[in-house]
């Protein structure tokens, strides 16, 4: 498959990433979950398709979201997401190679839209640190929602399985 020139540096993302995570928020009891993220490419297109799913320890679905990661020039990234809970997220940030060979992707600017029946989510931030071999990733998801200040909501450690 021929990768678009903007996607080629992130070809390592393509596949399935799985692992475990922990959630916390003032309006919720702390919880643990299993997470699966899948990235796929479309030949010659300047984006990667993204799908995320979580389940509890009994395998019961908890959350899902779909979208597109749109790499731009000079490490600028755009992430467009839709969630069945009634939110869309438009995030922008950067991907930066670190001195130790790891890669950090911070999507710190966000615009969130909520449907009229959704719980109010005001802002989000996503943070990913890929190891030097690009086979594992540590993730953090921060949000300001339901009147609470921006704070960490989720964290997970995922490993590439396919």
Domain ranges of the chain: 8-160
Given its phi and psi angles, is residue 96 left (phi above 0), alpha (psi -120 to 50 degrees) or beta? beta
- Taking CA 149 as the corner, what is the angle to CA 36 and CA 92, rounded to the nearest 5 degrees? 55
d(CA 84, CA 66): 9
DSSP state of 9: G
Tokens of 27: 């309006």
pLDDT of residue 41: 98
State both tokens at 19. 């692992």
Q: What is the CATH number of domain 8-160?
A: 2.40.128.20
Which two structure tokens, joined as six digits, stand for 32?
Answer: 């643990």
Q: What pTM was computed for the model?
A: 0.95
Q: pLDDT grade, residue 133 (50/70/90)?
A: very high
Averaged confidence pLDDT in the chain = 98
Mean pLDDT score, 53-68: 97
Beta strands 103-114 and 15-25 are: unpaired
Which pair of structure tokens corresponds to residue 120? 């109010």
Residues 52 and 37 sit within 8 Å (Cβ to Cβ)? yes
- Residues 127-148 have a mean pLDDT of 98
Size (the chain), residues: 162
- Give residue-wise pLDDT tens across range 39-54: 999 999 999 999 999 9
């Amino acid at each position: 498959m021929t990768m678009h020139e903007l996607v080629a540096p992130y070809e390592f993302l393509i596949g399935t990433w799985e692992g475990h995570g922990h959630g916390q928020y003032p309006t919720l009891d702390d919880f643990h979950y299993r997470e699966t993220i899948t990235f796929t490419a479309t030949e010659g297109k300047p984006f990667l398709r993204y799908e995320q799913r979580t389940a509890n320890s009994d395998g019961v679905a908890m959350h899902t979201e779909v979208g597109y990661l749109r790499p731009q020039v000079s490490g600028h990234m755009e992430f467009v997401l839709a969630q069945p809970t009634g939110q869309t997220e438009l995030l922008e940030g950067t991907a930066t190679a670190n001195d130790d060979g790891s890669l950090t992707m911070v999507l710190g600017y966000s615009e969130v839209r909520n449907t009229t029946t959704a719980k109010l989510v005001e802002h989000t931030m996503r943070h990913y640190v890929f190891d030097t071999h690009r086979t594992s990733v540590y993730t953090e998801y921060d949000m300001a929602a339901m009147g609470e200040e921006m704070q960490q909501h989720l964290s997970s450690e995922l490993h590439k399985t396919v």
